[in-house]
Chains A and B, each alone.
Chain A
């Protein structure tokens, strides 16, 4: 069974919001109608977004680290938003595991947003229906597009390639390998929602250099420079 999902690499996300704007652009231009923007130039602008990048600070100054954290629907394998829907508007597709909302059935009761622990469903205040990430379902199957462009808008927009897209049930895909090899994890695992989207942790790449590697203590050139009382190099060392 296919389960399409995103794998987001927090190690390379720079928090540029390109995924946010490209998501908004694609999804506001689709057949489902525009995503509302209220008071876009006013004092209190608000609007519907399927994807948001948030920023967190880890640790205490001066030992802090900034984590940019893109957040969109995780397309859970056991989505709590689906069974609570009274009309069947909220559903999970059997063929590819995408969680979708049927805008023609949704009554806008917001119960699914209450059930979702991640806050990734946003009510469209103009259309009065619940909206959420569709994994660009109207794009990834579009045969009019070149094969390379049949990916969610956010994935194509990411300048650091922090967003990977594919089937997390197929062990051979890029996303499955990334989860396996780079410690992919899910959010709020204690709630048992089994999110399909995974996150790759931040990694520290470094090389440990010891003093001896830079300056060989036993080199013959050091004999005179040795501090008083230090044992000199052994004969074997002289021989080498």
Chain B
């Protein structure tokens, strides 16, 4: 599949935004449940809400560039009964509203009363991961996507990058919490890496259910395409292939585990075991590197997706 920048940005940005909100609201909820002192979170809930909201908004803006008719985007909320895309379009603004309310209430009134909003936001964040993942997991024509691992990985990678960002934000607004967030982020990054590796492994071993034989209904071991009906390209040749060289795709596939998981992991461990100033730098660096790595990861996610329609577009003529 062609990795559209708008979709790469949408999924990585909102993924990190949701993860950040889960990190902050989750920490606050745990503190309230344990009856810990309120001031330890400091300005983090407000700062976190603003950043999380910003990431979701940027993702939403990016998504509009994917549409042919953005002015009709309101219609996407109508088919929530059947379409995961429609459900995502409903849950994202809902989550943004809850994050905004959560941040505003923290700014205006004392903390304890916001646990309900925090929990609601966490539930909506998880629901949004489900929607985003299911958009891809329901596409049966792409075997690489049609697995529950897709949903799990979207969730894990989003939460991991969100916790990394939480560590970076905490380094500024609540330094006492930085190392705590960092160690959580490190563990989550490790688990996300395991999830992504299992998907990579699955992709290399996938046995296509659909073959050139079933595509045209001729039972012979050798079916070779001689013409695709047009010498120039078509929507089918543009949308369903990544359009880069195999070497480039291989380089991206080899790069993303290092950039999205390994380097951030090392940096997060460094955050955990270093002084405040150096830790802040390492935490921000960790997030920047991880975000770039997840963009590469998302590119690979699309590039490795082999659509059954490609069986009809293997030779120009």
Binding site for B on A (CB under 8 A): 17, 20, 39, 44-49, 52-60, 66-67, 69, 71, 80, 82-89, 105-111, 113-119, 122-123, 125, 127-129, 185-191, 199, 201-202
Report the minimum CB–CB distance from B81 to chain A (whole Å): 9
Interface bits B259-272 vs A (CB < 8 Å: 1, else 0)? 00000000000000
A57 CA / B212 CA spacing, docked (Å): 11
Most chain B Cβ neighbours within 10 Å, of A49, A60, A119, A125 = A119
Enumerate chain A residues within 8 angstroms of B233, measured Cβ to Cβ: 44, 46
Task: Say yes or no: is B309 at the interface (Cβ < 8 Å to chain A).
Answer: yes
Interface bits B220-232 vs A (CB < 8 Å: 1, else 0)? 1011111111111
Most chain B Cβ neighbours within 10 Å, of A59, A111, A114, A117 = A114
A149 CA / B129 CA spacing, docked (Å): 52
Task: Say yes or no: is B111 at the interface (Cβ < 8 Å to chain A).
Answer: no
In the complex formed, the residue of A with least CB distance to B237 is A46
Inter-subunit contact B76/A107 (CB<8 Å): yes
Inter-subunit contact B309/A118 (CB<8 Å): yes
Inter-subunit contact A119/B67 (CB<8 Å): no
Report the minimum CB–CB distance from B146 to chain A (whole Å): 11
Task: Say yes or no: is B250 at the interface (Cβ < 8 Å to chain A).
Answer: no
Report the minimum CB–CB distance from A35 to chain B (whole Å): 11
Enumerate chain B residues within 8 angstroms of A107, measured Cβ to Cβ: 67-70, 72-73, 75-76
Between-chain CB contacts (< 8 Å), 30 pairs:
A44-B232, A48-B235, A49-B229, A52-B234, A54-B225, A54-B229, A55-B225, A55-B226, A55-B317, A56-B218, A56-B223, A56-B224, A84-B85, A86-B77, A86-B89, A105-B75, A107-B67, A109-B68, A110-B66, A113-B239, A114-B307, A115-B140, A117-B210, A117-B307, A187-B214, A187-B217, A188-B308, A190-B214, A191-B140, A201-B217
Inter-subunit contact A66/B138 (CB<8 Å): no
Enumerate chain B residues within 8 angstroms of A47, measured Cβ to Cβ: 232, 234
Inter-subunit contact A87/B235 (CB<8 Å): no
Besides A117-B307, A188-B214, 8 other CB < 8 A contacts? A46-B233, A67-B216, A71-B312, A106-B72, A109-B68, A114-B142, A115-B140, A115-B141
Task: Say yes or no: is B301 at the interface (Cβ < 8 Å to chain A).
Answer: no
Residues facing A in B66-94 (CB within 8 A) are 66-70, 72-73, 75-79, 82-86, 89
Report the minimum CB–CB distance from B75 to chain A (whole Å): 4
Enumerate chain B residues within 8 angstroms of A71, measured Cβ to Cβ: 229, 312
Enumerate chain B residues within 8 angstroms of A105, measured Cβ to Cβ: 72, 75
Report the minimum CB–CB distance from A116 to chain B (whole Å): 7
Enumerate chain B residues within 8 angstroms of A185, measured Cβ to Cβ: 217
Most chain A Cβ neighbours within 10 Å, of B140, B141, B217, B312 = B217
In the complex formed, the residue of B with least CB distance to A82 is B82
Task: Say yes or no: is B154 at the interface (Cβ < 8 Å to chain A).
Answer: no
Interface bits B280-315 vs A (CB < 8 Å: 1, else 0)? 000000000000000000000000000111101100
Task: Say yes or no: is B1 at the interface (Cβ < 8 Å to chain A).
Answer: yes
A113 CA / B240 CA spacing, docked (Å): 9
Task: Say yes or no: is B117 at the interface (Cβ < 8 Å to chain A).
Answer: no
From B78, B210, B223, contact of A87 by CB (8 A): B78
Inter-subunit contact B226/A57 (CB<8 Å): yes
Task: Say yes or no: is B278 at the interface (Cβ < 8 Å to chain A).
Answer: no
Inter-subunit contact A60/B222 (CB<8 Å): yes
Inter-subunit contact A49/B234 (CB<8 Å): yes
In the complex formed, the residue of A with least CB distance to B71 is A107
Inter-subunit contact A123/B235 (CB<8 Å): yes
Enumerate chain A residues within 8 angstroms of B224, measured Cβ to Cβ: 56-58
A58 CA / B223 CA spacing, docked (Å): 5
Task: Say yes or no: is B139 at the interface (Cβ < 8 Å to chain A).
Answer: yes
Inter-subunit contact A58/B222 (CB<8 Å): yes
Inter-subunit contact A80/B141 (CB<8 Å): yes
A119 CA / B236 CA spacing, docked (Å): 6
Inter-subunit contact A117/B308 (CB<8 Å): yes
A201 CA / B232 CA spacing, docked (Å): 29
Task: Say yes or no: is B135 at the interface (Cβ < 8 Å to chain A).
Answer: yes
Inter-subunit contact B85/A111 (CB<8 Å): yes
Enumerate chain B residues within 8 angstroms of A80, measured Cβ to Cβ: 140-141
A89 CA / B218 CA spacing, docked (Å): 34
Enumerate chain A residues within 8 angstroms of B227, measured Cβ to Cβ: 54-55
From A49, A87, A89, contact of B230 by CB (8 A): A49
